[in-house]
Every structure is written in C-alpha cells, then in structure tokens.
Structure 1
Amino acid sequence: MSIAEVATSLLRTEETFSAYLARINNVILQPLLQSGSFENSDLFLLLNNHFQVLWGLTEENCRTLKEAFSASESVSVQDVYLVWKADLFLDRYIQYFSTFATCAVLQGFEHAAKNKSEVWKSHKPALQQFLADFSLDASIAVALHTVLHKPFRDQLQQYSLIFSKLEGAAGQCPESEAIADATQKFAKLLSFVSQVLDEACLTRSLWKSLGHKFTDVLCIAERRLLEDSRNLTVYASTGRSDRVLLFNDILVLIQGSNFRSLDLKLVWVDVAERDVGKYALRIAAPEEEFFLLAKDLKARAVWQWKLNQAVRQALNGKRDFPLWSRDGDGSDPPHCRHFSFTFRAEGRLKNAVYDGEWCLGRPHGKGTLTWPDGRNYVGDFKEGLAHGFGIYLVPCVSEDHYDCYKCHWQEGKMSGYGICEYGNETVYKGYFKDDMRQGFGILEKASSTKHSFKYTGHWENDKRSGYGIWDDKERAERYIGMWHEDQRHGAGIVVTQSGACYQGTFHSDTMVGSGTLLLEDDSVYEGNFTADLTFVGKGKLTFPNGFTLEGTFSNRSSQGLHTQGILNTSGEQQDEHMAKLQLGQKEFPVEMRWEGLLNQFLEYIRLGCQGDMEEAFTGFHVQTSKELRKSQEYLFCQRENEEVPGKVDVLEDIIAHQEEETLQSYLERAFQNSLHPLGKLLKALTLAFQATYSTIGANKHLLNMAQEEVKHYAQKIWEVYLGFLHLASERKGQAYAEDLENSGLNGPSAVLPLILPSFYPDLFMLYMLYHEKEDDLYCQGIVDLSQETDVKLLEFLDVRKHFWPLKDLTLTKHQRRSLVKDRCFLSATDCLRNLITTVDPQEKLDILQKTYDEIAKTISRLLGEEFNPSMDDLLPLLMYVVTRARIQRLGAELHLIRDLMDPTTSGGMYDFLLTALESCYALIQKEIQYHQSWHASQDS
C-alpha cells in the first residue's frame, strides 16, 4: 500500500469520525448542557470543552489531507497532520479521558441521566434513536458512559492501524523515524486510556462500597484507587483486620469504622528485615512506622513496585505516561525529600511545623521547626533530631525577648561549640555536652546592665568548675583560680581595681585559713583577713621600708585597726622577693590552666579533621547575634550555600607549605585567618589571656604567670600544628612530619614571635609595672645625663678621646663644640630607638646588633681602620647611645627580650650585646649620684 492510499484511508476514517462527533454533539452534549444545572454539570462543561478541541483537531486533519489531495495527486508523509502533530493529539486526548474518568468516578453520568429538565426530556427520543444505532440496550447512564468514550477509543485503534500501514509504505524514507515515534506515542496513549478507565472503574466501585463516613473525607475528583488489599492480599502490622487502600496520593489503612491516611509524599517503602516477616514491607512515615505483610513473594513484589511508583509520581506532581510504565522518571522514589508537615502525636513536637528535608519518615538534612509557642529551630537534622549546626530561639516568658542558641547539636542536644544569647543580656560562648555547658566557655553580662560580670574558664555539668577567671565589675575585682559547682573553691587570687591583690584558699565561695595580701604601696601582709581586706587574727605585716609588724590584729570600727605583737624597726630594706612576689605559678600549673580549650583542638585532629565537625571543635570565630534574631534562615542559608572567603583545606594547605623555608609564612597566614583552626586557637587563647591579665588583671605580681603562659601557648600551638601535619602525612602516605621534626627546628621558638603580637599589649604592661621603680630611676638618670653636651657626656662616661666623633659636629659661627648636643653617634642612636617599634624579641636583638654595627662603623671611620670594640670599650660607647636614645621603659624591654628570646642565642653575639645593654641600664641607675658630684666638681 502506498502513502497516498494510506492517506486516503485516513481521510475516510477522519470524515466518519467527525460525523460521529457532530452527531454526539447535537444529540447528547448540547441538549444536556442546555438543560441547565445538575449535579456535576461543571464536569460536563469541561468535558464538552475537551470534546470540541478533539473535534476541531479531527476537522483540521481532514482539511489538511483534502488540501494535499487537491494540490497534488501524490501525497507525502509531510501532509499527514497526525504525524507531525502527534504531541498535540496526545495532549488533547489525555485531557479528555482524564476528565471523562473523573465524571465516571463521581457518578456524573448517573446524575446526568436523572436530569429532570424539560429540555433534556424533549431530546430523549433522539437520544434513544442514537443509542439504537450504537446497538445499546442499557440505562441512560451506561449509554452516556459508553457513547462518550467508545468512539474515541475506536478511533485511536484506527490510528494505530493506519500508522502500521504508514510505516510499511514509508519504508526507509527520512520521515520513517517521525512515523515510528508517532506510532509509539499512540500505542502508549491506548494503554493510558485503558488504565485511566480501569482506575476510574475500580475507584467508582470503591466509593459505592464504602460508607459515607469514608467517602465524605476520602472521595475527591483527582483521587484514584491503585490497589486494594482485598484484590491483592496484604495485612498491616497494626491489626490483621485492616484493609489497605493505595491511591495515587495517599495510603489508607482501614480498621473497623476508623481509618487513617498517609500522604504518599512522606511515605518510604522498603523490604523489611527477615525477623519481621517472610514477605514484609516496612512503611515509614512521620510519627509512625509499620509493616505490610503479604501472603507470598509475588504479592509483596507487586505492592512494593506499586507503592514506590505511586510515591515517586506523587513527589513529581504528575502521573507517568502511561500510568504504569517501566520507563518513568526512575524506578524508585528518592530517599531524601523536601516537604512541610505538622506533627500531631503527643510529645515534644506536638503541633510543631517542620519544613525541610526528610529521609525515612524523619527530618533529616536542613530544615525549620516551628512551635505554636514561638520556639523556632533552623538548622541540621539527623533521623528526626537536631544534629549538626542550628539556631534555636526560645521566647522568654516574662518579657518580649528571646533566648538565642547558635550551637552545634548531637542527637537533639547541644554538643560542641556554641553561642547562646539569653534574653537577660547574658551571653555564653563556649562548649556544650548533652545540653549543658561543658569544657571551656565565656559567660558575660553586658557592662551596661546591673550586676554585670564575666567568667572565662572551665565548666562541668553546666556549672563553673575547674580553673576560671571571674570579673565582678560592680566590685571592680577579678578572681583567678579554682571553682567547684559555681563557687570559688580551692586556690585563688583576687586582684582589685586599686592594685591590691591577695592569694589564699577558698571554700564554698569564702576564703578560709591564712593568705597573702599584697597592697598597692608594696606592703605585704601574711595571715588572716576579711573579704574587705581588713586584718584579723594572727598575721605579719611587712612595710616597704623593711619594718615588720607581727602579732594579732583586730578591727574596731570606731577605733580602727588594733594589733598586739612585735614591731621590728631595724630599718632593713624589704626583701626584693617580697616586694615583687609572684603568685599563682605553684597553685595553677600552666599545663592545667586552659587544658579544656586545647583538648578540643587536639580531639578534632584525633578524629581526623572531618569537615562537618570543625566548627563544633574549633568554632571561635564568633559574631554578635542581633542579625541571628532578625533572620535565622538567612544566616543559615548563607553559611551553607555561599562560598566562605578565607576557608581552606587545612590538610592540603599544610602539606603544600611544610618545608622549613615556607613554614613561617604559612603559620603567619594561618594565625591571621579567623577561619583556620590555628587562627581560631590563637583567638581563643588571646581571649583567655586578656580575661586574666588585662585591665584589673594588670598586676605586677602576675607577671611570671603571664610570661610562662605565653611560652606554653607557643608549645601547645606547635603541638597542634604537628598534629595536623602528622594526619596529613598519614593520608598522603609520606613522612612529612618526621622530616620536619628531624630537621632540628625549634618549633615553639618559631611560633612564639608570630603569636606574641596578640598578647604583647597586656604582657608588656605587666613588665612595665614589675620594673616600674627601676625604670623610674633609670629615666631620672637619663634626664640628668641628657642635659650634658656631647663633649661633657663623652668625658663623663670615660669614652676614649680618640673615639669621640667630634668631626661630626657641624657648627655655626655662634656655636662652640663643647656646647653642641645630640650629634655624636647619631646613626647608632636612631637605630637603637627602633627597639620599641617591634614586638618580636629576635627583631629587637637584630636592632641591637645593628646599633653595635653603627657604633663600630663610626669608630672605624674615625680611626681609618676596622674596629671591633671590646666590652671595656663598648660599654661607655653604648651608654652614650642609650642616653641619647632616651628609650622609655627600657628595663621592661630588656627583661621581655631576656625572658622570651630563643634559647639557642644564649652565649652568642646576641647574648653578649644584650648583656652589655643590661649593664648600661644598671650603670645608669647607679651613676646618678656620681654624676651629680662629678658635675659639681666640674663647676667648681
């Protein structure tokens, strides 16, 4: 058969079908629509609209073919409208039969048959004649049902026959692929129509069999029955009398006169474990889990397949084409889904609304949980519980404020690092375990409020326990020491705003036994005293002038302090040890002060530096949470979805910069990066250091504590770095860490100058306070010596005259050489002044070396030969330069360099020069009286 013959056959078929449609329209549809409203008449109106569209397509197909025949005797595939518009035909037929099925399910044909309109009655004779032509001897309802679908199904079958003939006629022409595609689509359409009508028949029968209690709730236009446990036996584990109904959108369990339905979008289906039942399916849904027990393997397989396909189609929001096909959008629904659900069961989630990701019937992934009382959680979930990072808002009962918890969670409880801002303006930043503060943390109440305070230290079971620092801002004092269950308990130091401090033993927040009280005038009291620092009981008071008063003290409010004892007035100066007594080192070994903080970072390394737990262990890049209160969801999404500047892969980066040559630059960048674990560790240690030694804590009796703490920080940070390097080495399978350790590098010494700037302001303040008297005496000497001219000062310091650079003195005609100041050794003086411009002890030593070099250059220029001054020559020259440099607090600088310099420099040139500068410092203090007497003799 040729293409023209096939087209001719198609034209006859379309003309016949169009005539049938015209007759149906005139005899049935239009009279029925004109008869007025009846139950479900709106469905018939929609059905009529789809009918008219199909009729129009049929007419268009006829017209196209006729035009092709009239234009040419030969007709090609391009003239067959049905081939090129196959998708359009399919879409219109699907719409028609979907609406037709809804009419059938809702008994629309029965309602139409019962139409009592006179218009409808007057057309019944014509309808009867029409039905006779269709050989129908049935009720009006059945007749309407048949007449409105059978001609269309017959026509689709005709299309299938014509397409098969067309494929044979076309052969291997270029259009053969389009013909084959259209043939396949119309075959699927026939299957779709059969399935739609079968589902409609089953659903209609079900609604008729169920009572009104069920149908009033369950019966809706789009719902279709897909499987019934009475057709394919299956039992629910909730009771063997259950009837299970699978619809295209819900799963219904009926037991007696009650039922419950599950939204398929939140249903998960899986084969159950063997011990549940031989042929069991596990059904998971929010708030419940049960099993479907099948009688055999085949029944279970059918139920499993139909359930999974129904769930997948419900999630996609559309049915497959055809409805049950193997080539749908994936055979099984996804395990992870996004949906909104309101919990109804009793418990902590009752009436709460969850909007987010689900897995196996439980919140899993990212989501938002909101309670009717205003509580709100935004963050990560795992198996129904908060797990990961999340923000939790809890409204306060008495005021219009919220407690805001920005924390890490584990199995529904706060665990790891978090920030909690309470409605009373108290903020906690630190670690949690099982919803309780545990480990290192900072609790602070704003200074703008009453009873402001700040605690920095360790916690146990939500209470202050272990080593911690307490700032009582109302009393203007700081407690440094041990705690137990929220009370000062054990060894402790109290520092007051006035400069006094005392050390003793505390029990249940009260000092017990004797202690040591250091007063701001350098008096020292050892014995018993009250909380307001009043002496009471036995004690010994040592005055700054060396006098001691030892005996029994009492306080009579009207008469002042009374004592009965021995006053020693021998006049001996107070022991230097007592004047600068250092506290806390023995009582609080440096290894245990911030052990809880350091252990978090070491534990993070031990667990393999997993990215999802980094913030829980090392989360000290904190921010205020006013923004969190305004928009949790915005911050949460920003944190998860946006690229964070400065974020690095620690292990990859550390391998790339593990060579000794690049190590220092790598560490420097790491410390400056607030997102790098080493940067976070330094930030946390800085906070702890400032909490201890800044402001009120700036007390000279704490210098040794602070100094050893900084050194300890360098040691521990180096250990953390090596931990990262060891882990990276293991993953790369190479011995990077061992190579670095065997290189002989002094790691803590390399770290110290890099971290020192973070602690330097507070640390140097302690050095200044500790050496305040010596520096004052030194400054007095500098002032006296600086008044001298260069010539007189060089002469006084016994600098050899052939070392005097008098040629450097540029004089005007009104000046005399003996009166000019600040001109000799100018380059060395300027160099030494740079000592205060740097923090690094090594850089300070380098400046001292350059100063020595400048002095040697000046002398060499004068002598015309290379000159390396000995200590005897260097000391007076260096004293001259020190005098002219006028460096304030030189004693503090010298002791800081000596305490923190690299031990490997001991005994070398740096040590020699530092010793020379220390000698100059001491001599300047001692030479004041001698200078004054020498100056008097010169005047005379």
Structure 2
Amino acid sequence: MALRLRMTTFNAKRRRMWHSGRKLDMCTSEATASLLQAEETFLACLARIDALILKPLLQAEPHDQKGKDNFKLLVLLNDRFQALWNFTEENYRILKQKCSTSESFCIQDFYAVWKGDLFLSLYIQYFVTFANYVVVQGFEHATKSKSEAWKHHKTVLKQFLTDFTTEASMSLALYAVLHKPIRDHVEQYVLLLTKLNEAFKEGPEKDLVTSAVKEYVKLGSFISQVLDEACFTKALWKSLGYKFTEMLCVPERRLLEDSRNLPISASTNRSDRILLFDDVLVLIQGNSFQSFDLKLVWVDKNCREKSAAGVYVLRIITPEETFFLSAKDPQMKAVWQWKLNQAIRQALNGKRDFPLWGKTGEGTEPPSRRFFTYVFRLEGKFKSATYEGEWHWGKPHGKGTLKWRDGRNHVGDFKDGLEHGFGICLVPRQSEDRYDCYKCHWHEGKMRGYGICEYGNEMVYKGYFKDNLRQGFGILENPSADHPFKYTGQWENDKKNGYGVWDDKDRGERYIGTWLDDHKHGQGIVVTQSGVCYQRTFHAGKMVGSGILLLEDDSVYEGNFMEDLKFVGKGKLSFANGFILEGTFTNKSGQGLQTQGILNTSNEQLDDRITKAQLGLEDFPVEKRWKGIYDQFLEFIHSGCKEETEESFTGFHIQTSKELRKSQEYLFCQRGTEDVSWKMEDILEELVQHQELESLHCYLDKALKSSLHPLGKLLKALMIAFQATYSGIGANRHLLTMAQEEVKYYAKKIWEFYQGLLHLALEQKGQLPTKSVDGETNDQKACSIVLPLILPCFYPELFMLYMLYHEREDDLYCQGIVDLSLFPDLKLLEFLDVQKHLWPLKDLTLTTNQRRSLIKDKCFLSATECLQKLITTVDPREKLVILQKTYEEIESTVSRVAEKDYKLPMDDLLPLLMYVVSRAKIQHLGAEIHLIRDLMDPTNQGGLYDFLLTALESCYEHIQRMRLHQRENCHGTHSP
C-alpha cells in the first residue's frame, strides 16, 4: 500500500519564505560545515554500498519463479536507492559550492529543509520497498543464489562484511548494510538540523527549520515501525504452512496484529487464529482460511449478541458473512476494536498514517457508508455478480451497478442489499444477441411501481409492476412490421385483465372492452378503420351470441355475424332509407349474402335513435374504467404521500440522479424546464394556504399543468388513456357519450384526490377540514372548478366526436348558411322579419356606385366578429361569455339605432341573432352548441347563459329547417 506524506504546514511555511530571500547569519557556518561533512561521508557510504552490494546482487539474476519475483523487488529497491543517492548528491553540491565561494547562505540552500517534502518522500519510498523485500525473505533467497556472478562477488562481499561468514549471517549482513547507514543518516539529520535551528533567531526561518526537524523525527519513527512490521510479517510467513503463505503472502501486505499475541477468537473452541493485515482480515480454522477485504469490513461495537459470562463480543460484518470475535476482557476487546477500525480507515483512505502508529491515528471510526467493488461468491440471487457502488454496513446501499457473467446487469438504487428505488436492468435473451431492458422502480429486490421495459423483440411496455409482474395500468406496444399492435389497459399477474383498449394495426381495428387471462372476455366494442363498429360478447377471445353492427352508411344490423362481418343466422338489417329486412342470413362462397325473411318498407326514415346509437354505456360503467390509474394514486395518498411512493406511482421523480436520468424515458412526466419545484412537503403546505375559491382555482391550474405535481401526473396518465381510446380509429360518433361521461368522471376523480391530499395536509397540521358553505356537491364542484381546467387536454378528441355525431345536422345548417349568405344585408334583415326600426342603416357607408340593397356583411359587424370567436375557445364558460358579449353587441347596436337604451324582447332577439349567426358562418355550430350544453357548469342552468344558449339553439334549428323545407320542396313534397 502506497504511503503519501502529509506536509501541509511545512510546505505552507516554505511558500511564505519563497520571496523573502533573506541571507542567514554567519553564525550558522559551523552547523552548515557539519551538515556538509555528514553529506560527504554519507555519499561515500552510498557509493560503496552501490559498488559492493547492489551491483553484485543485480548481476545474480535467479532462474526460479520465486527468485524472479524477488529480483523485481530488488531492481525497484535499487531505483529508490539511486534516487536517494542523486538527491543527496545535489544537496551536497549546493552546500559545497556555497562554502567554497564564501557566500552567505539562504534557507533555500538547505535542500534537507527547503525541499524537505521531497527528501522525506524519497526516504519513505526506499524504506517501504526495502520492507517489502524483507517480507518476502529476499535477502535469504539472494544469498542462496547459485549463479556464477554471485559466486564471483561473494568473496568481495565477505571482505566488506567482515563480521559475517555463514550464508545465514550473510543475509543478516545485507539486511543491515542496506538500511542501517541510511537510517543513521536520518537521525544525523535530526541532530544537525536541531543544531542549525539553535543558531537562528525567532522568525520564519526558525519556524521552517523547526517544522523540518519534527518531520525528520517522524520519519525516524516511521522507519522503525516499517522495519518492525516487516520483521513481524516475515516471521508470520515463516511460521505458517506453505499453503497459506503461497496464497496470502504479498510483498506490500503487513501484519498488524495476531490473535496469538493479542488473544481473541472467532469460535467457542478457540482453536482458530485471527490475523489482521493492513488490507485484509484473515480467519484461519484448521487447514482452511477466509480472507475479508478491510474496505468491506464493518465493526459493530454495540453488538447485542448474547455471550457467555466473562466474554466480550465484537460483531464483524462483511458483504456475505457476519461473525463474532470474542475476547476475555473488555480491554482486549477495546484494543482489537481500535486496531480494526484504524486499519479499515487507512485501507479506505488508500494510505497509512505517518507515522504508522499514532496515539489515535488521523481519525476515529471509519465511515459506515463506502464505495467499493465486490464479487459475490455464495449462493443467492447475486452469486457470481460483481457489484460496484455504495455500501452501508455490509449491504449494497445507495447507487450501484451489478454485473453477472451471463451478461445481466443492474444499475440503480439499492437499499439493505436489495434493488430498491429506480434502476435499469439488462437481461440477455436466450439464443439471441439482444437484451430486455427494464427501466423501473424496485421495492425490496422486485419490480414495483412504474417502469418502462424495452424487450429484445422490439416490444415496449410502459406501466406498473408488482413483484416483477405487470400489474395495474400499462401500455404494451409492438411497433415491428410483422404484427404491430398496442394494448392500453389493466394488467394482473403479467396478463391482460380488466378494461383495456387493443389496437390491431394489421387488421385496422380497435377493441374496447374487458379482458381475462390475455383474452378478450365479456362485453367489447370493435371499431374498424372503415368506420364500421360493433358490440359483441366475447369468451376466451371468441365472439359469442348476438350483437349490434353499425355500418358507415347508417345501416344497422342486429343479430349474429362473423369476425369478417358476414351476417349469419337470424338478424335484422335496418337501412338508412328506413327499410327493414328481418330474417335468416347466409353467406355462400361466390353467391354473396342471401336471406329468407321479410322486407318492411313502411318506415319512411330510419330512427335517429338507431343511427346515433351509443355503445358501451351499460356494459362499461365509467367507474370501472382505468381503475389501475386511480388505484395507484389512491395508494400514494394512503401511504401518507411518501416521496418513495410518489416516485413509483406515476412516472419518475425529479431527484433521480443525472446518470440514470439520461437513460430514462417518460410516459407521464414529460420533463421540461419548470420554474416550480414540487416537493411533497411544499405541496401539502400550499394546499392548506390555497383553500379560497379564487386562490384554489389558480393553484389547481398551475398544478395540473405541471408534469411534476401529483395531480399533473394523474392528468397526464388520463390523457394517454383517453387518446388511446378515442383518437384515430376510435373517432366514431357511436362512442361520444362514453367519451363525454369519461371526461366528467376524470374531473370528479381529480377533485376527490385533491380533497384527499388536502385532508392529509390538514391532518399533519392537526387541523380539521372546513365544511362547504355554498351548498355545492362534490360533483358540482368537480364540474365547475376542475372540468374547465382539464377540458383543453381532451378537447381535440372530444370535439371530433361531437362533429361526427352532429355531422348530418351541421351539413343541413351549413347549406342553409350558404343560401342565406347570398342575401345582401337589407334583404336578409327583411327576409328574417327584423323590425325596420332596428336596422343599423347608419352603419352602411356607400360609395357613388353602391346601393344599399347590395351591401353585405356590414350590419351588426361587431356582434358577428364577436360570435366568430366561439371556435377559438375550449372552455364552455368562455364560450358562454362570448355568447353573452355577442348579445350585448347586438343590443348596443340596436340602442345606437334607437338612440336610447333598448332591451330586446325575445321576438326581436331571435331574428337579429339568426342574422348574426348566418353572417358568422361557424362551420360546426351544432357540435359547439351540444358540447356547451353537455359540459357547462350546472349552476348556469336557468340563468342568462342558459337563455342565450337556448336562443342560439333555436337559430341553429331554424336554419336547418329552412334548408330541409327547401330541399323537400325541390322534391315535390309538401312543406309543413
């Protein structure tokens, strides 16, 4: 393990001295001369060691593998030696040059002080490498070398090492020669620098030298400890068997404590042995051992494990095992606890303390949260997986990555050793070079809550999970060209169950109905691309019984029919012209449709009740549609609006880490740059503050528009469900009432959930919800407060259904408008029986070539332009306000003509309003009127708005009848 020097104070003082350039007093000459003499002697010693010790050793390269490994260490030791030699020589050269020129010394001239951090670093590197060589018994192996080079120099070495004769003593001699002179020189530095320091007066130079002396004292202590640890560790390797040494002996590894020296046991029979190294904790039991990386070892001093009387226990926690160390007295337990924690702390820091053993080290207990890589070995779901990430008390906890050998991997949040929170999991598909990708929320190791799964076969699922299975609301889509489909609806135990919508893009069909075990089951509606739709009962995916088939040409068939829409068996076919064919139908190949029955031609016109039949109302109660969405929100409220639950109930949370966010797709949370930060505590606080009607309206508007607010998330999910049902193929007039009641129910549920959030917020503040004083029911409040806010989200699909439903009436109305547009203003006013004293003739500005009777689109122009704004709004309230302003503009124009305030009676208003309607030329006025009527605030019924809307309806119907009568007259029929 590398050792890095801490010289912060020393270096800071040196930097402050850099620009001073102060000359030292001549009284330091004696100390300088002593230092110069010491460096000269030391250099001579180093040169002799290099020539007579290191060079012969380096020439004797062994041939066995163990010797080769040791030889590499020797080469590194020589490199450290040479670096130390070179720097000492540089220090000597500068000192000698200053002395020979009789120049005054600056503090910068003393390398041992000025570059003390580099000096210390070189000594540390040398002695750490030297200790590594000692640990692997390098000197013993070197003296046993049988190479010719070694034999040639052995005599010379013996002369150099006069006190040693045997091979055993030769190894001791080499050990002594390669460390003692250098170690002694460090002690000499302390003495010489102390003497130099005494020559200084108080000031920055004295402080700098004082700091240097302290660091060299520490270095001396460090060298002693390094050598002691090396000898202690070498003795251990000698005492252990070859099996243990071969697997555990690493040059850099140091033994810090041995249970034979400081008794402690991991078992009751106390026959085991505990070895604490600087990087691992080893348990030896018989002929086997276990090794635990200190970076993933936690020491629980507050162990609650019951132990025998007189035994003191430490609990040791590792990623896959937990065991106990027992000591006979509390002092022994405390020492082991301290040694373990210091070793763990230093292992985590990646460096040893300087010196190695202080009174308390650089810190107390190591952190419980860590970041590390580990390969799981034992049986379990993580076996053979590599985990890289955050840990807490022996368990993956926080951000991390799991990788298995078979290609699986999981990136995300962990808690107490299990996947918990948001995570991305890749699973390779068998026999395919593809992966299934799960981007999901996890709970205690299993998928739970919202997620996105991209399967290797190109299918994509976006929705909810429980216990790794699709559960609740979800969307499964297959965009591939082979069999494209899309299912939006309820899931249970990984199967389609409950209400859902299925798009079969091959067949150009959409199924809206109930499911059971992945099959259409129960009542269902099928809408085709050609505009045909039918309702049938299904059983295990097959149609059973009779049904109703609504054709594009307004024909209606009631009876039994095949999947290809061929009539079979008894049935009744009602044609658009009013004829009814009732009997038994057959389809023979090449012969077309055949029937035996009765054709009734007495009906003059097909009943509107049939052609505009609404499907699914009784069979799919609105309360039972999209329960999966509501249930998730309800669970969120019942949980107390915990942030963890919010993350998984609808989309992803804003606090998800940046790295994971890059990989996320959003179903309901389309992230944008939103100025508002929606945190649950802030949301609940604001709910309490915005209970007044006006304030509440503004708050709900802001919340519903946000993809981060829970109510906004809920609305986004409902939008997706609505579009899946009624957009595209689903735009069929026979589904209008289903869609209309669904939007109203959305408003009701959103209001309920708002109230649930408000009650929770009030409960947390110890308050009670206030009772409503306006007498409105929840349904009325939902319609008056929430519906106008959410209607724009559903308006495109909903208004399309209104246009299709009222298409025939609007066509008649538009033809009537075309006829009326041919009239000049005055002729039209006359045709509509508008009283002449109400005509705004002053508004008709004529040129020399114009006649009043030909002027068009001038009268009541302000009212006309006002009414035309009806199509620019979505909210029924705003449409009614426009209608009121149109009425006020008409009345204002009439008052100007009459030159007095004029209140229009109904007899005058209707012809004037019809004139304005005919000039406004609103294309789908029938759809507009009925949308307003169906979705308007119930409190407006019976008031001015209701009166004006009734008047507009009358104008619309009158224009239709005008055209209808004209068409009947053209066909020779009698006009009623």
Question: Is this a same-fold pair by TM over 0.5?
Answer: yes
Superposition map of 1:418-567 within 5 A: 418-446=451-479, 449-550=481-582, 553-556=585-588, 561=593
The equivalent residue for 2:804 is 769
Superposition map of 1:669-748 within 5 A: 669-729=702-762, 738=770, 746-748=781-783
User: Between Structure 1 and Structure 2, how many residues are aligned?
Assistant: 920
Answering whether residue 668 of structure 2 is matched by residue 635 of structure 1, we say: no
The equivalent residue for 2:392 is 359
Q: Which runs of 5+ in 1 are unaligned?
A: 623-627
The equivalent residue for 1:289 is 322
Answer with 816-825 or 65-74: which moved more: 65-74
**CA 1:493–1:257 in 2, change beyond 3 Å: closer, same or farther?**
same
User: Secondary structure of 1:234's partner?
Assistant: coil
1:784 positional shift: 2.2
Q: Pick from 234, 254, 258 the counterpart of residue 264 of structure 2.
A: 234
How many Å separate the matches in 2 of 1:557 and 1:121? 111
1:555 positional shift: 4.8
The equivalent residue for 1:598 is 630
**Is residue 535–residue 548 contact of structure 2 (8 Å, CA) maintained in 1?**
yes
**CA 1:33–1:809 in 2, change beyond 3 Å: closer, same or farther?**
same
How many Å separate the matches in 1 of 2:343 and 2:424? 36
**CA 1:359–1:585 in 2, change beyond 3 Å: closer, same or farther?**
same
Superposition map of 1:372-383 within 5 A: 372-383=405-416
Answering whether residue 448 of structure 2 is matched by residue 393 of structure 1, we say: no
Answering whether residue 668 of structure 2 is matched by residue 645 of structure 1, we say: no
Paired letter, 2:678: D
Paired letter, 2:60: S
**CA 1:620–1:321 in 2, change beyond 3 Å: closer, same or farther?**
closer
**Is residue 655–residue 725 contact of structure 1 (8 Å, CA) maintained in 2?**
no
Q: Pick from 9, 23, 26 the counterpart of residue 48 of structure 2.
A: 26
How many Å separate the matches in 1 of 2:196 and 2:482? 92
Answering whether residue 312 of structure 2 is matched by residue 279 of structure 1, we say: yes
Answering whether residue 873 of structure 2 is matched by residue 844 of structure 1, we say: no
Paired letter, 1:885: A
1:427 positional shift: 1.4
Q: Pick from 246, 253, 258 the counterpart of residue 223 of structure 1.
A: 253
**Is residue 421–residue 427 contact of structure 1 (8 Å, CA) maintained in 2?**
yes
Paired letter, 1:293: S
Answer with 744-753 or 865-874: which moved more: 744-753
* RMSD over equivalenced CA pairs, Å: 4.0
Answer with 337-346 or 423-432: which moved more: 337-346
The equivalent residue for 2:639 is 607
**CA 1:704–1:53 in 2, change beyond 3 Å: closer, same or farther?**
closer
Q: Pick from 165, 172, 178 the counterpart of residue 142 of structure 1.
A: 172
**Is residue 453–residue 460 contact of structure 2 (8 Å, CA) maintained in 1?**
yes
**CA 1:434–1:239 in 2, change beyond 3 Å: closer, same or farther?**
farther
**Is residue 317–residue 393 contact of structure 2 (8 Å, CA) maintained in 1?**
yes
| 1:746-771 Cα deviation digits (max 9, x unpaired) | 35423222322221121111111211
| 1:458-484 Cα deviation digits (max 9, x unpaired) | 000011111111122222222211111
User: Secondary structure of 1:750's partner?
Assistant: helix
1:680 positional shift: 2.6
Answering whether residue 956 of structure 2 is matched by residue 913 of structure 1, we say: no
The equivalent residue for 2:17 is none
User: Secondary structure of 2:486's partner?
Assistant: strand
**Is residue 678–residue 708 contact of structure 2 (8 Å, CA) maintained in 1?**
no
Q: Pick from 850, 873, 878 the counterpart of residue 913 of structure 2.
A: 878
1:502 positional shift: 2.5
| 1:13-44 Cα deviation digits (max 9, x unpaired) | 87468536634642675354246224545555
User: Secondary structure of 2:884's partner?
Assistant: helix
Answer with 468-477 or 854-863: which moved more: 468-477
**Is residue 397–residue 415 contact of structure 2 (8 Å, CA) maintained in 1?**
yes
1:859 positional shift: 1.0
How many Å separate the matches in 1 of 2:103 and 2:912? 122
| 1:143-182 Cα deviation digits (max 9, x unpaired) | 3323443444455555556777888887976666545544
How many Å separate the matches in 1 of 2:664 and 2:810? 54
How many Å separate the matches in 2 of 1:111 and 1:899? 99
1:846 positional shift: 1.5
1:352 positional shift: 3.2
Q: Which runs of 5+ in 2 are unaligned?
A: 1-24, 63-69
The equivalent residue for 2:934 is 899
| 1:468-503 Cα deviation digits (max 9, x unpaired) | 111222222222111111112222222233333332
**Is residue 11–residue 62 contact of structure 1 (8 Å, CA) maintained in 2?**
no
How many Å separate the matches in 2 of 1:621 and 1:297? 49
1:111 positional shift: 3.9
- Counting aligned pairs with the same residue, the percent is 61
How many Å separate the matches in 1 of 2:264 and 2:521? 67
**CA 1:741–1:479 in 2, change beyond 3 Å: closer, same or farther?**
farther
**Is residue 34–residue 192 contact of structure 2 (8 Å, CA) maintained in 1?**
no
| 1:810-843 Cα deviation digits (max 9, x unpaired) | 3344443223332221221122122112211111
**Is residue 18–residue 58 contact of structure 1 (8 Å, CA) maintained in 2?**
no
The equivalent residue for 1:310 is 343
User: Secondary structure of 2:917's partner?
Assistant: helix
Paired letter, 1:863: A
Answering whether residue 791 of structure 2 is matched by residue 756 of structure 1, we say: yes
| 1:548-578 Cα deviation digits (max 9, x unpaired) | 4555555555665555666554436444433
User: Secondary structure of 2:265's partner?
Assistant: strand
1:130 positional shift: 7.2
Answering whether residue 60 of structure 2 is matched by residue 37 of structure 1, we say: yes
The equivalent residue for 1:625 is none
How many Å separate the matches in 2 of 1:69 and 1:620? 75
Paired letter, 1:509: G
1:931 positional shift: 6.6
**Is residue 840–residue 894 contact of structure 2 (8 Å, CA) maintained in 1?**
yes
TM-score by length of 1: 0.87
How many Å separate the matches in 2 of 1:574 and 1:644? 52
| 1:331-353 Cα deviation digits (max 9, x unpaired) | 23222322333344455444433
**Is residue 238–residue 290 contact of structure 1 (8 Å, CA) maintained in 2?**
no
**CA 1:12–1:919 in 2, change beyond 3 Å: closer, same or farther?**
same
The equivalent residue for 2:6 is none
Answer with 867-876 or 598-607: which moved more: 598-607
**Is residue 107–residue 204 contact of structure 1 (8 Å, CA) maintained in 2?**
yes
User: Secondary structure of 2:663's partner?
Assistant: helix
TM-score by length of 2: 0.84
**Is residue 140–residue 168 contact of structure 2 (8 Å, CA) maintained in 1?**
no
How many Å separate the matches in 2 of 1:284 and 1:741? 62
**Is residue 660–residue 740 contact of structure 1 (8 Å, CA) maintained in 2?**
no
The equivalent residue for 1:337 is 370
Paired letter, 2:442: W
How many Å separate the matches in 2 of 1:840 and 1:694? 20
How many Å separate the matches in 1 of 2:144 and 2:645? 70
Q: Pick from 256, 262, 265 the counterpart of residue 292 of structure 2.
A: 262
Answering whether residue 852 of structure 2 is matched by residue 823 of structure 1, we say: no
Answer with 349-358 or 467-476: which moved more: 349-358
1:911 positional shift: 1.2
1:720 positional shift: 3.1
1:856 positional shift: 1.1
1:644 positional shift: 7.5
1:897 positional shift: 0.6
How many Å separate the matches in 2 of 1:581 and 1:739? 42
1:268 positional shift: 2.8
Answer with 105-114 or 799-808: which moved more: 105-114
1:435 positional shift: 0.8
**CA 1:725–1:328 in 2, change beyond 3 Å: closer, same or farther?**
farther
